[in-house]
Amino acid sequence: MDLSLENRRVLITGAATGIGAAAVQVLAASGARVVGTFHNTEPDTELAATWVRCDVTDQSSVQRAVAEAVAALGGLDVLIHAAGSWQLGAPGHIDAENIRAMIDVNFSSTVFANQAAYEVMKESGGQIINFGSSEGVSGSPVSATYAAAKAAVHSWTRSVAKMWGVDGVTVNALAPAVQTPGADRRLGTMSPEAIKQYEQQLKMVIPLGGKLGNPVSDLGPVLAFLSSDAAKFITGQLLAVDGGLMMIG
């Protein structure tokens, strides 16, 4: 069983903050060679990655970023598509702009990034890791368009896993519940009383610890495993890394 990431060639989208930045930190520390993409937020130069600017909602920008990553790394073994965004979207109050934003940044970007990576990987195999959400499984009364876009990511992941497996390309999705700047922004939309209720709810619905996990210490090891040769017989799966919030059967 090979869990080594030494010289593994990895592209991480949305790598300047949150889960993407945690992925850079963990995989680089494990010996992988990493290219990270960023868009509006400048990356932390202390993170051990080669940086490429990319608008993941623009297919040509994604294709250019993948080409630059391949040129820098000499190929591509792993894509971690961590780029994404959450917005409020309560049913009955959703407009076209909200729909477009949530679909473009969460679902369309996944299609663009996966297809561009597959074009490189199809000759020698590779591993693609997407990001879904518990809300894409259970639905959400406050972010319905985000939930719908993530549900589309889940279905897309299964579809391409079935099609691309013959070429040795695995495709899986993670549904994490970890503390990120995005989670902090979500709290910023709540009143103090709503935050108290939310924190109390986490204590009831997350059996392990009663709170969101750490993106480096809790999610990072799973990303490292799925990026290694040890995970090459896993594909088409939605894996919850959430302390037991969502127990998928």
Neighbours of 61 (CB within 10 A): 18
**Contact call for residues 51 and 43 (beta carbons, < 8 A):** yes
**Contact call for residues 240 and 173 (beta carbons, < 8 A):** no
With a CB cutoff of 8 Å and minimum separation 6, the contacts of 242 are 134, 175, 176, 177, 206, 213
**Contact call for residues 37 and 22 (beta carbons, < 8 A):** no
Catalytic one of 146, 160, 173, 219: 146
- Annotated active-site residue 198? The verdict is no
For residue 182, what are the CA distances in angstroms to 61, 64, 109? 23, 27, 18
37 pairs with which residues across the strands?
52
Give the DSSP letter of residue 167. G
Torsional sign, CA 58, 61, 66, 69: negative
Tokens matching residue 9: 């060639």
Tokens matching residue 169: 């390309």
Q: What are the catalytic residues? A: 146
